[in-house]
Amino acid sequence: MKGKIFLLWLFMIVMGVLPTACDLFCRDSCGCRPLPPARNFIITDFSTEDFVLNITNFDPESYYDRDKYFKVIQVAQIEFITENTSKSPGISFISAAYACDPIQGISEQRLISLEIINLKETVLSETETLMVGQNISDRFNLTDFPQFPGKAIAEFIQQENYFRTGESLLLQWKDELNGGTLDLEFTIILKLDDGKEFIFEHELMKIK
C-alpha cells in the first residue's frame, strides 16, 4: 500500500500536479535558475503581411472571408537597451514541458496613432463610396491575436499602446459585406510617442 502511495505521489510531481522545491526535484528548466532577464527595446522598423485563418498559402488575387482576413503589422527591427533582473521563485510546478518562456521585453515607445487612408475610390453601396484620401480608420478593428475580438483602433491604442517581444497588431475590416466583395487599397500610418512615423503605402485587401 505504501508503495502505491509513493508511486502516486511521484507521478503527481512529474505531471506538475504537486509543487516541489527546486532543491528537492528539478529539471532546471522552469524556476530553478533565475529567469532570463527581460530586455526592453526601441523599435526601429515595422513590416506588414497578410494573414488568413486556416490558410497556409495566401493568394493576393483571391477574396477571403472578412472575419478571417487580417492585415498584420509586426515589429520588424528592434534595438535592446536595458536588462531587468528578476528573482527566481523558491517553489515551482514541474510540468511535462521542458522549456519556459523568457520574460517578455517591452518597448520604450508607445503607439499613439494608427491611421488608414483610402487610396482608391470604392463603392460600398448605392449611398456610400470611399473617396481617395479619406480616413477610413473607423472601418477597421484592431487586435493583437486573431482569436480575440477586435476593438476600435482608438480604443485599442488607449488601452494597449506598448509592444511586447514578438507581439503584432492585426487589422480587420469590421463591417459585414452581405454577400458582396470588397477590393481595398490603402496606406497605413503608425506614429510613436518619440516622433517616429512609419508609412506603408498601397496595402491591398480583398474580402468577401
Give the side-chain half-sphere CA count within 13 A for 13: 14
Q: What's the gap between Cα 149 and its chain centre?
A: 12
pLDDT in tens, 2-53: 454 445 444 444 444 444 444 444 444 555 556 666 789 999 999 999 999 9
Q: Which residue has better confidence, 24 or 124?
A: 124
- Could you report the per-residue pLDDT of 139-195, keeping only the tens digit for each? 999 998 888 889 999 999 988 788 988 889 999 999 998 888 999 999 999 999 999
Distance CA 178, CA 72 (A): 24
Contacts of 55 (CB under 8 A, 6+ apart): 64, 68
Q: What is the per-residue pLDDT across 80-120, written as a single tens digit (0 to 9) for each?
A: 986 554 434 333 333 333 345 566 788 999 999 999 999 99
Model confidence pTM above 0.85 = no
User: What integer pLDDT is reported at residue 93 of this predicted model?
Assistant: 33
Question: Rounded to an integer, what distance in angstroms lies between the CA atom of residue 20 and that of residue 204?
Answer: 53
How far is the C-alpha of 207 from the C-alpha of 156, rounded, in Å?
A: 23
- Cβ neighbour number for residue 142 with a 10 Å cutoff: 23
d(CA 1, CA 114): 65
